[in-house]
Structure 1
Amino acid sequence: MRVCGCVIALLCSCFVLLAVAQVTNPSEVNALRAVKSSLSDPRKHLKNWNNGDPCKSHWNGVFCNNTVGADGYLHLEELRLLNMNLSGSLAPELGQLSHLLILLLSGNKLSGSLPDELGYLSKLDRLQVDQNYMSGPIPKSFVNLVNVKHLLFDSNNLSGYLPPEFSNLPNLRIIQFDNNNFRGTEIPASYGNISKLVKISLRNCSLQGEIPDFSRIRSLHYLDLSWNQLSGSIPSYRLSPNMTTIDLSDNQLSGSIPESFSDLPSLQKLSLENNLLTGSVPAILWNISFSTRARLKLDLRNNSLSNISGELNPPANVTLRLSAVIVEPRRMGIRKEILAAIITGAVASSVILSTTVMLLITRCLRHRDRPPSRRLSSSKITVKIDGVKAFTFKEMTLATRNFDSSTQLGRGGYGKVYRGILSDDTVVAIKRAEQGSLQGEKEFLTEIELLSRLHHRNLVSLVDIVMKKGSRYEMLVYEFMPNGTLRDWLCVKAKGSLSFGMRLQIALGSAKGILYLHNEAILPYSTETLKPPTYFWTPTLWLK
């Protein structure tokens, strides 16, 4: 009996230990609760944070290691709170998530300063706080993030200086701090020693001083220092042969264009426009040996360049922009026959382009007049959709009262747009496809993929997608803009009520959104259809 009692007691002890082991570390649970209490969550993305255990109950945005740690608890490894419309500040208790590898807070409305305590996360691999309203300096404690590879702080209002100690981070791959206000700050020369750096993007950061020497970083692919107040000459050192993008435009750079740019076989974009560069344009820039499939864009506009040293005969896969360059025919040695050929080619290209456009228009009109198909073919097209969840067709039916006409907001080329109210009382705009739509299935899936990868405070966010069982993607669900379009305010609702400040906000918001779509989005996005009916007002009169 005594032996049986001991065995039973031992088994009970094991079960108790196992039960304890299958819960999240209490300090991490308390840290998450502190994070939630410091945030405003209008869309209730974090509503399940009130119940259960973070790891076992799968709190939204929380990802854990399923292996029990040495302390007998489960631990958080990732916190992904992207594009949730969260506002408020970042709780210093984030520093208690000592096992955290990934912290993604992009595309929200977070404000305040970056907590010093984030520097305690020594295991952190990626820190992404871009596209928020964060202010203040980058904490000095961040130099302790010895395992970090990606630092993305772009599109905030950070100030202060760029920590030169970042050069001591041995694993750093990406520095992306675009669109901040490091006024009067120079780029630390020590950044030229970050040996594993792949991308450095400091666009529009109010930086001054000279460009450091990045030639020792042999892994560098992408360099964007545009829209600053950088001065001095462009370093003549040969950059990494892996370089694909060099953008030094819209600065105050002087001197000549280095010929070392010609020895970059992977280069796809070289932007030097809107500077104070002088001297000759070396034709060797476009007379380089690279794959016929490759494309190279050279933009040298709006400088004080005098002539071209060599022949103006770039290959077909090179786009060269030289407007505002003073061309001296004698010094260039361009014969009249060559100039005539250039003019003739331009005229011929215009004729071909016009003919092609007319053919495309005719084809589209014919396609539109065809009767719609009576069935929807099952799609074999697949897309990778990041950060977007999917609702059911039934949920959308309930949200719009079976797509009642009273909930219809408008109509577009793809179909009707409805106002819907989700089960958590979130109001959304639902774009529903129709048979015979001008937009085909492949185009619709492509739109989903593109929209899921666009995140900016001046762009309307894609919330969900809806797929009807046995068919293709049927609907897109966007955040709802209750104050209507810009056209409504300009033409109907508020004649004469837009102050100068509001009109300035309209111009700035539009410019920031277009700048992102053209230059900062993961994929380039066309803005040719932008017009007042496609701009919307948020509840706080922020333009999107």
Structure 2
Amino acid sequence: MGVRVLAILLVFLLGDSTGDAATNPYDFSAIMGLKSDWQNTPPNWVGTDPCGNGWDGIHCTNSRITSITLSSMGLTGSLSGDIGQLSKLQILDLSYNKGLTGSLPVQIGNLMKLTNLILVGCGFSGQIPDSIGSLHNLVFLSLNSNEFSGLIPPTIGNLSRLYWLDLADNQLTGSIPVSNGSNFGLDMLLHTKHFHFGQNQLSGTIPSQLFSSGMNLIHVLFDSNHLTGSIPSTLGLVQSLEVVRFDRNSLYGAVPANLSNLTSVQELLLSNNRLTGPLPNLADMNNLNYLDLSNNSFDATDFPTWIPTLQSLTTLILERTQVRGELPVILFSIFSLQKVVLRNNQLNGTLDIGTSHGNQLQLIDLQTNFIDNFKQSTGVYSVEVILVDNLVCEETGAAGQSYCTIPQSNTSSYSTPPNNCIPPLCNSNQTSSPNCKCSSPYTGTLVFRSPSFSVLGNSTYFESLASSMMISFQSNQLPVDSISLSDPRKDSFDYLQLNIAVFPSEGVSFNRMSIYTIGFVLSNQTYKPPKLFGPFYFIADQYTNFAEVQVPKTSKKSTNIGVIVGAAAGGFVLLMLLALVGVYAFRQKKRAEKATEQRNPFVNWDPKKSSGEVPQLRGARCFSIEELKKYTNNFSEANEIGSGGYGKVYRGTLPTETLVAIKRAQQGSMQGGFEFKNEIELLSRVHHKNLVTLVGFCFEQGEQLLVYEFLPNGTLKESLSGKSGIRLDWARRLKVSIGAARGLAYLHELANPPIIHRDIKSTNILLDDHLNAKVADFGLSKLVGEDESGHVTTQVKGTMGYLDPEYYMTQQLTEKSDVYGFGVLMLELLTARRPIERGRHIVREVRVLMNKDKDLYNLQGILDPAIGLGTSLKGLERFVELAMRCVEESGADRPTMGEVVKEIENIMVFTGLNPKAESATTSASYEEASKGYSTHPYSNEDFLEYSGGFPPSRIEPQ
């Protein structure tokens, strides 16, 4: 620990003189913590600057560690909580290090930038932490082939950007989580394309809610678990599916008839369950290659006439399915057909395979049926027919036929052949490549979970696989000479396994960076195999024969000189360290004095532009401009997350790793010092759980900046429009409305003096990570005057559609102007429409349609479908009535915000919700925000400031 502290101290001491390459001290501290828990780290992990010195497997951007890729290194140890300090980390790939054990730390949920979390083939165990649901940017989550146990974290449903989800080959138990009220579930992952959960111990039924028509899934793999119940008919709604595996479970009941709607499915495996009812008619699945319905309890039926219509079929397996009757000869005319297995059924009559079958047909296994004749056509056949335990083999003279004996196991001996060369003899550490070069290959096993073919002796398949891999490696500029594939085989799960050896193009072995990169291309699924191989994963062997850097040999004399020089250098370094410590102490004293001044609001206050009095701040901090530059990477474009008439908003990270939103005024929009001082005083003294918190401000060097808390789930507008992907059902909309109403009621009734927000709208209602609503942006807010009139005379300002017409006409601002804006917001919550669309105001639209004698007040046509139409919307009529009271033409006829809060609470009680309870969790994103769209809550692009005349056509009197 002492060495680690000293190293960090040196980084701080030398930080100003090491240039841009110097590693951020917090990142250095974290990586040193990880290193202390690992053995077999790369040899060049020395020094205090991983970024500047190019540590193997570490990639940095602007002194921050953004990627750690260390596959196949033989790492041992555990993953400590230090990983959570790497706040800029985007990629973590520790695959194929079986010696990495223990549980995942909960701090992994702090890696808010993480896009790829890949821990394939390690030895991690314990429960997958719920905090993984906080990784909102995660695209690739691959934890397969470990020893994880416990439940699937429901919070994974919050990962709205997730594309690949692989938790297969672990020891996960419990049921498949789906959303329920405020709880998360896998059904929320509409953007995800891969569900890989095979080879676990999952139990319970498959929830019908798990699947929906809005999903983009292509692979659903739940094979080899303990699932019970029936296959939900909702599976037939996912039109994008290509591979479906529910084999090796305990499912029962009939197969849903609408499964035939899945016309893109190529592999369907439902074998080894307890399915009953009729054999499903899959005639419309014209892309089906591989069909296995074996070992179920279907009703006895004649051989289905629709099967020969599946012209893409390569493999048909219907063992123990009670199929009877005579096999039609047309079945064997399917050109692509390779394998037919119909053992242990009730087939009878004559077997006739005809003469028009494709040359790919290799096996017809009809053991244990009642076939009494085999019509062999003239010609030479390579088809292997097995009729053991049929009537035809019990007749005199037929028992000696080849089709009446069980052949010996025929395993493929395929291996990539030499490329027109003679393999040399290599030493024990090397192997001859296909190009006949002796070298040390990177080896492992490719596992294909659902290939669409069954003939393993066809070299064409494997040649195309090797060719596609070489193209991928070359396009990624990897130093690969050739690839060898060998020993294709099916395991007990019907997975295709292949040995692979990747040979280096430079020298006789790979360096570490090459291994990391090749491993990442395979673990991250960067390489896409030919489609007929289906989904795959790779398990690598540990690579040990790394190319070593040659160190020049030194003579004894030079060694002695080196010792002398080293001793002298060591003494010099010691003196320099002492000097540095002295300089450090001096600088720290100066920095402390400077910090004290910077946190004194008087220091940079311009008395010519302000009152010169002490700003009455309550909890807000005064930042220096240099601090904010550091926290935002010098206000870089990459950190820009919003903009508006006031200026731009940047994401910043404080030294405590707290995310903040920093609003920077542009020159033309800056207030005078007096107004800015008043604004930060106002913001710093309002503290409520439903108001966005002001963290601090900066007022120096001609700059005006406000530092707010960062709210990850964006604005209400983004949720209603679908851009953030957050799903708001009726219950959640009620919770959002009560939160916003409470925030406004606090401003009106508990702040001293009261405050009028003056710009209530859906972009100024922000959602935290628990979907609690917070009122934001007090740039237009006004204090209520102490005069008897109880209103503020002010220049008309606000946002089109939310603006109180009475305020516009009289220029008299009261709390009831906020009530009007909140009423419009309530209607926006109901309809998800902007206040004004195509010249029509939402208030007028609702008034025209409203009919209290009809269901839902006759508003079905404009209600947002996402609110849950078709489900119980208790209290909606009362909510509409309250909204319409809030938008009455006269402010005197509108309720106060305190009354609004009470009525919404009553509505929530009426609907069975607890108005005092906070939202427990965030909702999941159903769609990725459109590319390039800023989903940050502090963007204020639709702000309009009105001064003087307001076009009558743009404001419609009520």
TM-score normalized by the length of structure 2: 0.34
Aligned mate of 2:259, from 285, 306, 309 = 285
Contact 1:309 1:332 in 2 (8 A): no
Q: Which secondary structure state, in structure 2, belongs to the residue aligned with residue 298 of structure 1?
A: strand
Q: How does 1:242-391 map to 2 (within 5 A)?
A: 242-288=216-262, 294-308=264-278, 311-319=281-289, 320-329=291-300, 343-349=328-334, 355=359
Aligned-partner residue type, residue 333 of structure 2: A
By how many angstroms is 1:112 displaced? 1.0
Q: Which secondary structure state, in structure 2, belongs to the residue aligned with residue 318 of structure 1?
A: coil
Contact 1:107 1:455 in 2 (8 A): no
Aligned mate of 1:523, from 529, 548, 567 = 529
- CA distance in 2 between counterparts of 1:193 and 1:537 reads 35
- CA distance in 2 between counterparts of 1:433 and 1:152 reads 33
By how many angstroms is 1:450 displaced? 6.4
Aligned mate of 1:193, from 143, 154, 158 = 158
- CA distance in 2 between counterparts of 1:195 and 1:337 reads 41
- CA distance in 2 between counterparts of 1:332 and 1:352 reads 20
Aligned-partner residue type, residue 470 of structure 2: I
Aligned mate of 2:85, from 102, 120, 125 = 120
- CA distance in 1 between counterparts of 2:361 and 2:304 reads 36
Matching residue of 2:747: none
Residue deviations 1:291-333 (CA, integer Å, cap 9, x gap): xxx4432111111111337635243312432122334246999
Contact 2:30 2:85 in 1 (8 A): no
Uncovered stretches (5+) of structure 2, i.e. residues with no partner: 1-13, 179-185, 310-323, 338-354, 363-414, 437-458, 486-496, 511-521, 534-540, 546-958
Residue deviations 1:188-229 (CA, integer Å, cap 9, x gap): 233233333222211111111101112122212111111111
- CA distance in 2 between counterparts of 1:115 and 1:276 reads 39
Aligned-partner residue type, residue 153 of structure 1: L
By how many angstroms is 1:411 displaced? 11
Q: Which secondary structure state, in structure 2, belongs to the residue aligned with residue 315 of structure 1?
A: coil
Cα gap change, 1:455 to 1:272, in 2 (>3 Å): farther
- CA distance in 2 between counterparts of 1:106 and 1:305 reads 42
Cα gap change, 1:118 to 1:207, in 2 (>3 Å): same
- CA distance in 1 between counterparts of 2:544 and 2:55 reads 29
Aligned mate of 1:429, from 420, 426, 431 = 431
Matching residue of 1:168: 134
Contact 1:100 1:124 in 2 (8 A): yes
Q: Which secondary structure state, in structure 2, belongs to the residue aligned with residue 101 of structure 1?
A: strand
Aligned mate of 2:470, from 448, 458, 463 = 448
Q: Which secondary structure state, in structure 2, belongs to the residue aligned with residue 191 of structure 1?
A: helix
Matching residue of 2:105: 139
Aligned-partner residue type, residue 523 of structure 1: P
Cα gap change, 1:34 to 1:431, in 2 (>3 Å): farther
Aligned mate of 2:505, from 455, 465, 484 = 465
By how many angstroms is 1:132 displaced? 0.8
Matching residue of 2:516: none
- CA distance in 1 between counterparts of 2:307 and 2:95 reads 53
By how many angstroms is 1:259 displaced? 0.8
Aligned-partner residue type, residue 113 of structure 2: N
Matching residue of 2:204: 232
Contact 1:461 1:478 in 2 (8 A): no
- CA distance in 1 between counterparts of 2:306 and 2:29 reads 77
Matching residue of 1:392: none
RMSD: 5.0
By how many angstroms is 1:285 displaced? 0.6
Aligned mate of 2:118, from 141, 146, 152 = 152
Residue deviations 1:225-264 (CA, integer Å, cap 9, x gap): 1111111110101344211110011111111111111111
By how many angstroms is 1:55 displaced? 5.6
RCO higher in structure (CA 8 A, sep ≥6): 2
By how many angstroms is 1:176 displaced? 1.3
Residue deviations 1:163-185 (CA, integer Å, cap 9, x gap): 112222222222211111123x1
Contact 1:164 1:190 in 2 (8 A): yes
By how many angstroms is 1:150 displaced? 1.7
- CA distance in 2 between counterparts of 1:321 and 1:124 reads 43
Matching residue of 1:82: none
Alignment size in residue pairs: 374
- Alignment partner of 1:204 is 2:169: yes
- Alignment partner of 1:413 is 2:418: yes
- CA distance in 2 between counterparts of 1:322 and 1:164 reads 36
Cα gap change, 1:460 to 1:539, in 2 (>3 Å): farther
Matching residue of 1:218: 190
Contact 1:416 1:431 in 2 (8 A): no
Uncovered stretches (5+) of structure 1, i.e. residues with no partner: 1-15, 70-74, 76-98, 359-409, 467-475, 480-515, 528-535
Contact 2:144 2:169 in 1 (8 A): yes
- CA distance in 2 between counterparts of 1:132 and 1:455 reads 23
Residue deviations 1:100-146 (CA, integer Å, cap 9, x gap): 11111122211111122111111111111121121001012212112
- CA distance in 2 between counterparts of 1:340 and 1:50 reads 74
Contact 2:268 2:292 in 1 (8 A): yes
Percentage of matched positions with identical amino acids: 23
Q: Which secondary structure state, in structure 2, belongs to the residue aligned with residue 119 of structure 1?
A: helix
Cα gap change, 1:18 to 1:321, in 2 (>3 Å): same
Q: Which secondary structure state, in structure 2, belongs to the residue aligned with residue 159 of structure 1?
A: strand
Residue deviations 1:263-309 (CA, integer Å, cap 9, x gap): 11211111000111111112311234x5xxx4432111111111337
Matching residue of 2:925: none
Cα gap change, 1:325 to 1:344, in 2 (>3 Å): farther
Q: Which secondary structure state, in structure 2, belongs to the residue aligned with residue 182 of structure 1?
A: strand
Cα gap change, 1:311 to 1:32, in 2 (>3 Å): closer
- CA distance in 1 between counterparts of 2:134 and 2:308 reads 58
Matching residue of 1:496: none
Q: Which secondary structure state, in structure 2, belongs to the residue aligned with residue 112 of structure 1?
A: strand
Contact 2:205 2:230 in 1 (8 A): yes
Cα gap change, 1:104 to 1:115, in 2 (>3 Å): same
- CA distance in 2 between counterparts of 1:128 and 1:264 reads 31
Contact 1:109 1:132 in 2 (8 A): yes
Cα gap change, 1:353 to 1:135, in 2 (>3 Å): farther
TM-score normalized by the length of structure 1: 0.56
